[in-house]
Amino acid sequence: MKIPSSTLTGKSLISIHDLSIEEINQVFDLTAALKSATEPTRLLEGKILGMIFEKPSTRTRVSFEAGIYQLGGTGIFLNANDLQLGRGETIADTARVLSRYVDIIMARTFEHSKVTDLAQYGTIPVINGLTDLLHPCQGMADMMTILEHKGRLKNIQMTYIGDGNNVAHSLMFGAAKVGMHLNVTTPPGCEPDEKIVKMAKADAEATGSRINITTDPVKSVKDVDVIYTDVWTSMGQEKDNDAKIKMLQPYQVNTALVKNAKDDCIVMHCLPAHRGEEITDNVVDGPHSVVLDEAENRMHVQKAIMALLLGN
């Protein structure tokens, strides 16, 4: 197998909004090829991935690290607090220095600007491994998972229900690009970022995707193909936890809510789940749930992304 030539080569992946539909499809095609490969595919022999984490992670860390090893490269885990970054060295200097040692960087940060600054000041591709604003690798893995289970993305009806957070934002950008219809259903006060909504709606005009911001949980999941939820309190927002639990209780994904969707609907969650809050045990472990496929696809999609950004 060879890395297909792509306009992604040499670029960073900060947001799904920056990708063309051709680039999105290139990621899905290479993901499928890597996932079904029967021989080892060492497309990135000798390449080094630096992984900066300001927040905890299970899936992102392990899927990137396992993924780069599988491709013949090496991953270096960098806890932001153990870097000089934690003592005030600038992002710009960190980016310039790391660019002399490694071939590609993945970063998980609080402020979104830290990831964009890494990409701006470094000379190597940067992958957004989650910021307070966006989680593009999750969105790409989720769309791959829908594609596998439903055979298409165009005109799939999905409802994201819960907190209008980074995961919701990336799903909005993704849905708009691929022509999927998406309700984002939240209580007042938990809506997605207005700027992101505007940008996604603008993209949606080109593809016929409908992005609706709604408040009624039962109505919004009526006859949908996909129900998606995520934690009510994202990393770094713990002080809002009690208020969020009160506001979001009626938005829990439980058996009664899922009954309103199509019989063959799939239920998605990026994990980690706060079982008993945004989703009940019997739904997350139930027959509609595809949460482990999503987690697995993180690795396959990220292998494709790393390969396309680095090229041959």
Residues in contact with ligand NVA by the rule CB under 6 A: 130, 165-167, 230-231, 234-235, 270
Q: Which entry of 142, 298, 300, 302 is annotated as an active-site residue?
A: 298
In the complex, least distance from residue 267 CB atom to ligand CP, rounded to whole angstroms = 15
Q: Report yes or no: 173 and 199 within 8 Å, Cβ to Cβ.
A: yes
Footprint (CB under 6 A) of ligand CP, residues 138-197: 138
Burial class (CB in 10 A: 0-12, 13-18, 19+), 81: exposed
Of the candidates 5, 7, 25, 58, which one interacts with ligand CP according to CB under 6 A? 58
Q: Which entry of 108, 112, 169, 181 is annotated as an active-site residue?
A: 108
Binding mask 111-140 for ligand CP (x = CB under 6 A): -------------------x-------x--
Residues 6+ apart with CB under 8 A from 152: none
Has 298 been annotated as catalytic?
A: yes
Has 223 been annotated as catalytic?
A: no
- Residue 4, φ and ψ in degrees, nearest 5: -65, 150
Has 138 been annotated as catalytic?
A: yes
Residues 6+ apart with CB under 8 A from 151: none
Q: Whose Cβ is closer to ligand NVA: residue 139's or residue 179's?
A: 139
Q: Report yes or no: 2 and 310 within 8 Å, Cβ to Cβ.
A: no
Q: Which entry of 17, 135, 288, 300 is annotated as an active-site residue?
A: 135
What's the CA angle centered on 76, arms 74 and 79, to 5 degrees? 165
Task: Measure Cα distances from 38 to 67, 171, 217, 275 in Å.
Answer: 15, 31, 43, 36
Q: Which entry of 157, 181, 270, 288 is annotated as an active-site residue?
A: 270
Does residue 271 belong to the site contacting ligand CP (CB under 6 A)?
Answer: yes
Catalytic residue annotation: 108, 135, 138, 230, 270, 298
